[in-house]
Amino acid sequence: MGKARGFLEIRKHKNDYRPVAERVRDFGEVELPMALAELRDQAARCMDCGVPFCHQGCPLGNLIPEWNDLVMQGRLAEAARSLHSTNNFPEITSRVCPAPCEASCVLNLEAPDPHAPAQSVPGYGGPVSIKNVERAIADHVFASDLAPRPAEHRSGRRVAIVGSGPAGLAAAQQLARRGHEVTVFEKADRPGGLLRYGIPDFKLDKGVLERRIEQLRGEGVRIETSVNVGVDVSPNELRARFDALVLAGGAERPRPLAVPGADLPGVHYAMEFLTQQNRRVAGGEVPEADAILATGKRVVVLGGGDTGSDCIGTAVRQGAASVLSLELLPRPPDRRAPNNPWPEWPLVLRTSSSHDEGGEREFGVMTQRVLAGDDGRVGAIVTVRVTPKQGRLEEIAGSERQLPCELLLLAMGFLGPVQGGLLQQLGCVLDARGNVATKAGQTSVAGVFAAGDMARGQSLVVSAIAEGRRVADAAHAWLEQRRASETTAAE
């Protein structure tokens, strides 16, 4: 611990953002880097607690106090080694993760009242800016040293990975560095999964992703795009060609809107909308007949999570006439409720950079039906306000209303992996939620493993990376055990 009273003497500061009027005119990243002097001060606020709850809150178990101390001393190269020892892609997590590490920081024990006058806020000012420090370390690596680290020895074993999202890429890198020959199969035209087509460029510039994929290729990872396993190639054919198979295809089954009129033209799932815009930013073309655009339209977004927020920011940049975000649940509190104690994830109101850019936001609203306009497309939605009562949501009498809507985006979460196809052909057992059932990463089929959202359901990018690392350990152990058995049998 470098500065014993740092958390008392130095006020918390987060990265600044580009001005709203400037950033809504393009899809460049909205967050600005922090100056090194300020970064060292923010890292000095870390208390190096005897029990560091921050890296227990982090699914990756990042060694946060260790690299905070190294950054405070200006030893960024050493901090980078510490950071990469647990996290394959910190340049990504530091941009898109909601930072559960900060939520469990000990300085959150007495977080200041957000409504208190500035002069009355204590010096500690909230948790350490862990996410900003992490990004600075990662960006330092990108600027100085992101050379491939190929394995010194080859195992002679071949592993196929289905899906190139964060879980698949993390598993690929870990297995390649252990000497295995790894091939990643991706059904899209470019690798990255939701990192490529699910997250807008204003949050994650795709040049960042490209740099990391280039490193993986330099380490021997082969990536085959436009290959839909289960359609273009049989998964059992892959099992015959490879020694192990890792499933990391994500949870791509969106939660539907089960109301009359939900099938009208102009009603789209959020990922359809976001994927198209990411393709445009990358220089790709979207056929005019298939284009989903918010330009000049009154847009309604159902769902208040990260995906809903991304839809808001994208719609604003496309020039929507208006944007309204509706969330089914009541407005969260500004501070932790008594039944939501530290170090649990705080169930509080969160405001993203997209919310600051325009539009309105309402809570406790249920959509009852979707109405067609004169052109046969969506023209309005009928809603009713709801309130929690005895564990369920109850409609408020007399609160029904009709809202104009010319583009309705559904961002209500995902129900799990796509059923049938790949999973059916393999015969993998599913759990009660429809995800691939696993035990220590192993599915019900020998030599077939599963990780990320496909195994755990919709979750965070940081959780997917952690699962990719764990499943790589499991697959490697299985391959080594198989090698030992073959050697014994040969003797």
CATH number of 267-410: 3.50.50.60
CB 429 within 8 A of CB 422: no
Beta bridge partners of 382: 369, 402
Task: Going residue by residue through the chain, which has 491 residues, state the pLDDT in tens, using 9 for 90 and above.
Answer: 567 888 888 888 888 999 999 999 999 999 998 888 899 999 999 988 888 899 889 999 999 999 999 999 999 999 999 999 999 999 999 999 999 999 999 888 764 454 444 444 444 578 999 999 999 999 988 887 789 999 999 999 999 999 999 999 999 999 999 999 999 999 999 999 999 999 999 999 999 999 999 999 999 999 999 999 999 999 999 999 999 999 999 999 999 999 999 999 999 999 999 999 999 999 999 999 999 999 999 999 999 999 999 999 999 999 999 999 999 999 999 888 888 888 888 899 999 999 999 999 999 999 999 999 999 999 999 999 999 998 899 999 999 999 999 999 999 999 999 988 899 999 999 999 999 999 999 999 999 999 999 999 999 999 999 999 999 999 999 999 988 888 787 76
Per-residue burial over 25-64, b = 16 or more CB atoms within 10 Å of its CB, e = otherwise: eebebbbeebeeeebbbbbbbbbeeeebbbbebbbbebbb
CB 55 within 8 A of CB 62: yes
Task: Collapse the DSSP code of 378 into the 3-class scheme (helix H, G, I; strand E, B; otherwise coil) and give the result.
Answer: strand
The CATH T-level fold of domain 6-144 is Fumarate Reductase Iron-sulfur Protein; Chain B, domain 2 (1.10.1060)
Q: Identify the DSSP state of 229.
A: B
Distance between CA 155 and CA 170 in Å, rounded? 19
Q: Domain residue spans in the chain? A: 6-144, 158-252+416-490, 267-410
Q: Is 173 left (phi over 0), alpha (psi -120 to 50) or beta?
A: alpha
Tokens, residue 477: 């152990």
Query: What's the CA angle centered on 202, arms 201 and 208, to 5 degrees?
Result: 50
Q: How many helices (H) and strands (E) does the chain have?
A: 18, 14
CATH superfamily of domain region 158-252+416-490: FAD/NAD(P)-binding domain (3.50.50.60)
Same fold, 6-144 and 158-252+416-490: no
Distance between CA 131 and CA 87 in Å, rounded? 13
CB 130 within 8 A of CB 64: yes
pTM: 0.94
Distance between CA 452 and CA 250 in Å, rounded? 6
